[in-house]
A and B are shown apart, each in its own frame.
Chain A
Amino acid sequence: MAARRMSSLLSSSYASPLLRSLGRGSSISRFSTAAALEEPITPPVKVEYTKLLINGQFVDAASGKTFPTLDPRTGQLIANVAEGDIEDVNRAVSAARKAFDEGPWPRMTAYERSRILLRFADLVEQHADEIAALEAWDNGKPYEQATSDEIPLFIRLFRYYAGWADKIHGLTIQADGPHHVETLHEPIGVAGQIIPWNFPLLMYSWKVGPALACGNTVVLKTAEQTPLSALYVSKLFHEAGLPPGVLNIVSGYGPSAGAALASHMDVDKLAFTGSTETGKIVLGLAAKSNLKPVTLELGGKSPFIVCEDANVDEAVDLAHAALFYNQGQCCCAGSRTFVHERIYDEFIEKAKARALKRVVGDPFRKGVEQGPQVDSEQFDKILKYIRSGVDSGATLETGGQRFGSNGYYIQPTVFSNVQDDMLIAKDEIFGPVQSILKFKDTDEVIRRANASPFGLAAGVFTQNLDTANRMTRALKAGTVWVNCFDVFDAAIPFGGYKMSGHGREKGIYSLQNYLQIKAVVTRLKNPAWL
């Protein structure tokens, strides 16, 4: 049962339940009938944890400062949260250092570590609705999306990594002489992790899961837009038996807390998810300080390629989901929809119709597909890009405006006749703006799809095996989805080619990020074999 439920991961769920929800959406505002975003619904949860979590204790920031975290539906205050800065990062790192160097964590058996991760997954399952509500409140994403996709996936990821904890195998290796050679795959030490606001909990699980499974200790900085859910689940983690100091949470801003973590001399590893611009800074700080290895999961401008033999209705639905899911706030959003010229007009018409049907509204309302953008900065940036699309001569098929007058809602927006050199076809917009481009032949679309500094993901829609195989190899992207999109199973590695990042998260590959390889070579006397 649980397995079936979890198997309704992102893609299958929005290919089905979200689409199905159209049927029961008649009572809800479509974006075009902007009518009512009346009184926001009161979220079914209370905010209990707003302090920093250091060495197993909730504590105030050293400075005593706090920052407001806001409700994207209204821009109103949800809570004031302790604002971590250098001194707090120092405290957190020294707790993590101690927990690693002296503490029980790397010294307990892998089986014991896995039990704690499993217990944690069970606790999250017990509190799933509250956690989902916090996530929706702080981020603006539909509550149903958080409960049906994200929290189950979070739980699934921790069970996945729990299973890895006791399967970290080194190798024994043939030598060229009388030596016994083995490799130990050791935990790397204190991992600094910086996560974004678009999927606060999923990004938490992608980072914390493998780091803890491999025996590391962690200092995690959450995004200043969405600090709440990480504090809540980390509390549960300690209830599950995590020793103090193993996981420390510092809420705060990038230039202060984030930079302190990236340049800390006692942090052995850094993992960052966010913009390419900030990724460069993080890597520079790591290089200038102690050369800690860095995993980066950065921006994208992923092509979604609809070939002439594709099932158009299915492609329209998935192209819609690939772009609009999570208000368009996905690093792997299918944000360049390339459609073959033979089906282009039909596709545009249907894509427009689908966008017009998209249910926008209070994320706590039943059947809502799209909530507000996360904050005013993103909101303004997206509207600027929409203006730029109009100014550069793309055809605005639908949308293009804010939705309502309160909070950060934006109409689902579709542009057709988009050209490769337009800003909306080059930059990561990170909002509900679909750009549809036309192509003629496979060589051309491969070249155009690859003509981007990014290389995070790609979608290919075709019934033809040769076309699928050819594109799969030629596209320079870390993930290629064929006749599907946004399938995010725990075992599938995710990460970027080119300026979309370094390293892979999820799957067996993610373990490499948190392990050091130690070669041990011992002299042999009278070996029976070599």
Chain B
Amino acid sequence: MAARRISGVIARSLSSSIVSRGNRSNFGREVQRFSTVAALEEPITPPVGINYTQLLIDGKFVDSASGKTFPTLDPRTGDVIANVAEGDAEDVNRAVSAARKAFDEGPWPKMTAYERSRILLRFADLVDKHNDDLAALETWNNGKPYEQAARIEVPSVARLFRYYAGWADKIHGLTVPADGPYHVQTLHEPIGVAGQIIPWNFPLIMFAWKVGPALATGNTIVLKSAEQTPLTALYAAKLLHEAGLPPGVLNIVSGYGPTAGAALASHMDVDKIAFTGSTATGRIVQELAAKSNLKPVTLELGGKSPFIVCEDANVDRAVELAHFALFFNQGQCCAAGSRTFVHERVYDEFVEKAKARAQRRTVGDPFQKGIEHGPQVDSDQFEKILRYIKSGIESDATLECGGDKIGSKGYYIQPTVFSNVKDDMLIAQDEIFGPVQTILKFKELDEVIKRANMTRYGLAAGVFTKSIDTANMLTRALRAGTVWVNCYDVFDAAIPFGGYKMSGIGREKGIYSLHNYLQVKAVVTSLENPAWL
């Protein structure tokens, strides 16, 4: 049962449940369509209280050394949700030394892998139990639809931790053939103290992608959450301690990038850093790591992923998935299908249907039933997106629908569709990270491959075709870490995710993610009278 429930992962749930929900007119009737902007009246009171706002260091909630706090805001209104302890260099130092001690003296890397896996499994059970509270906090802090958080994201967190719990006791080194009388083996050892910096778009899922493999492989952690969304990481980390995690193994520092984030990236006692966020910040993180102790870095960065609809594609399904690929999570996905390439033979039909679908998108208070689309996360993002929309109009793309904010409160933006987009327009080149679909026309496969690859990014790609030759050709030629064929945003635990080119370094999820948190030690022992070599 649980397995079936969890198997309703992102893509499927959206392509089935959410999407069909949108189509079910009786379901959506009481909800605001973006075009009928009328009322974003009083925001619904979230069904959850806020219990944890301090830093979590060495198993205890504590104030920041400076005593400072920062406000975390409700994206529906811009009002303060809570004041959260603001971590800075000194707090990072405290957290790192707790993690160092927990690693060097234990018990975490010294307990059996089976014991570690049991704690992760117990945590997953607790996540299930607190599903609705976690989802409500996530929505309140981020602005994403509550139904999306409750049905897709929090279950995916439990699923990911069960996945990594299963890896904990399957970290196998190799025995290796030698060229002489030696016994050679490799040990795959935990790397030590991992620093992790996560973004605000999927706070809990990013927590799971980072914390899951690091703990499963026996490391200890200092995690910095995004300043926009500090709340759920604290809640989840509390549950991990209830599940039996020893103090110091997972430390959470809320705070800002240039202060707490930079302190973590340049810390001399952090053995590894993993960062998810923008390419611009990823570069800084890499440089800080290089300048300090050369800690290895995993980066999961920006994207401008092509979504390619060939002439033989099922157009209705492609429209639906292209819509989902872009608008999911208010367009705030690093893997968003943000360049929709459509073959010229189906282009007009596609644009018309894409526009109709966007106009049907239900925008409103994320706590309201049946809502597909909430506000953007904050005013920075909100304004940046509106600037890109203006740039699209000025560069002569055709604004098919949307293009403006909704209401006068909070950070709601109309689902926006541009057609006749050209490769050299800013909206076709930059990561907008908002609900702005840009539809481009293409004629031939060679051409679309060239254009799709003509970007500094290489995170993901979608291919829609019925032809096996077309699918195979595009799959090999596209320079992207994930290619989804006739599907999109399938994020199963076992599928590796990461970027080519400037979309990042390394892979998260799947067996590949374990490499990020393991050192390989070759052990070579001299043999006397070996029976075989």
Chain A residues in contact with chain B, CB under 8 A?
A: 3, 6-9, 11-12, 156, 171, 173-179, 181, 183-184, 186, 268, 276, 279-280, 283-284, 286-288, 290-291, 293, 296, 298, 453, 468, 472-473, 477-484, 487, 489-495, 497-499, 501-504, 507-509, 512, 516-523
A518:B494 contact, CB within 8 angstroms: no
Question: Does any Cβ of A come within 8 Å of B294's Cβ?
Answer: yes
Q: Which residue of B176, B492, B504 contacts A507 across the interface (Cβ within 8 Å)?
A: B176
Q: Which residue of A493, A503, A518, A522 contacts B480 across the interface (Cβ within 8 Å)?
A: A518
A171:B511 contact, CB within 8 angstroms: yes
Of all chain B residues, which has the CB nearest A525? B486
Question: Does any Cβ of A come within 8 Å of B481's Cβ?
Answer: yes
B178:A487 contact, CB within 8 angstroms: yes
Of all chain B residues, which has the CB nearest A472? B523
Please, could you name 27 A-B residue pairs with CB atoms under 8 Å apart, sorted by A?
A: A7-B179, A9-B179, A11-B180, A175-B490, A175-B492, A176-B493, A176-B494, A177-B12, A177-B490, A179-B487, A183-B512, A276-B294, A286-B286, A290-B502, A291-B283, A291-B286, A293-B505, A296-B294, A453-B293, A479-B522, A492-B176, A492-B524, A498-B294, A501-B294, A517-B481, A518-B483, A519-B510
Q: In the complex, what distance in Å separates the CA atom of A491 from the CA atom of B369?
A: 59
- Residues of B295-328 at the interface with A, using a CB-CB cut-off of 8 Å, are 296, 299, 301
Given contacts A286-B286, A291-B286, A509-B186, 10 further A-B contacts (CB under 8 A): A6-B179, A177-B12, A181-B495, A183-B496, A290-B456, A453-B293, A479-B523, A487-B184, A492-B178, A507-B186
Q: Which residue of B9, B189, B283 contacts A287 across the interface (Cβ within 8 Å)?
A: B283
Neighbouring A residues of B291 by C-beta, 8 Å: 280, 284
A478:B522 contact, CB within 8 angstroms: yes
Neighbouring B residues of A453 by C-beta, 8 Å: 293
How many Å from the CB of A252 to the closest CB on chain B? Answer: 23
Q: In the complex, what distance in Å separates the CA atom of A457 from the CA atom of B490?
A: 42
Neighbouring B residues of A173 by C-beta, 8 Å: 494-495, 510
How many Å from the CB of B503 to the closest CB on chain A? Answer: 9
Neighbouring B residues of A288 by C-beta, 8 Å: 283, 287
A177:B9 contact, CB within 8 angstroms: yes
Interface centre among B7, B181, B290, B525 (most CB of A within 10 A): B290
How many Å from the CB of A454 to the closest CB on chain B? Answer: 11
Known: A183-B496, A284-B287, A519-B497. A291 touches B486 (CB 8 A): no
Q: In the complex, what distance in Å separates the CA atom of A47 from the CA atom of B193?
A: 51
Stretch in B82-90, B387-395, B513-521 with 4+ CB within 8 Å of A: B513-521
B485:A523 contact, CB within 8 angstroms: yes
Neighbouring B residues of A268 by C-beta, 8 Å: 501
Of all chain A residues, which has the CB nearest B519? A497
What DSSP secondary structure best describes chain B's contact surface? mixed
A518:B511 contact, CB within 8 angstroms: no
Known: A283-B290, A478-B519, A517-B481. A483 touches B495 (CB 8 A): no
How many Å from the CB of A498 to the closest CB on chain B? Answer: 7
- Residues of B159-193 at the interface with A, using a CB-CB cut-off of 8 Å, are 159, 174, 176-182, 184, 186-187, 189
Q: In the complex, what distance in Å separates the CA atom of A487 from the CA atom of B187?
A: 17
Neighbouring B residues of A491 by C-beta, 8 Å: 176-179, 184
Q: In the complex, what distance in Å separates the CA atom of A8 from the CA atom of B501?
A: 42
Of all chain B residues, which has the CB nearest A178? B12
B471:A522 contact, CB within 8 angstroms: yes
Of all chain A residues, which has the CB nearest B472? A520
Known: A7-B180, A181-B492, A493-B186. A517 touches B507 (CB 8 A): yes
B521:A516 contact, CB within 8 angstroms: no
How many Å from the CB of B210 to the closest CB on chain A? Answer: 18
Question: Does any Cβ of A come within 8 Å of B219's Cβ?
Answer: no
A280:B510 contact, CB within 8 angstroms: no
A181:B176 contact, CB within 8 angstroms: no
Of all chain A residues, which has the CB nearest B8? A177
Q: Which residue of B11, B186, B299, B480 contacts A291 across the interface (Cβ within 8 Å)?
A: B299
Neighbouring A residues of B11 by C-beta, 8 Å: 177
Q: In the complex, what distance in Å separates the CA atom of A499 from the CA atom of B289?
A: 11
Q: In the complex, what distance in Å separates the CA atom of A468 from the CA atom of B525?
A: 9
Question: Does any Cβ of A come within 8 Å of B500's Cβ?
Answer: yes
How many Å from the CB of A448 to the closest CB on chain B? Answer: 15
B485:A287 contact, CB within 8 angstroms: no
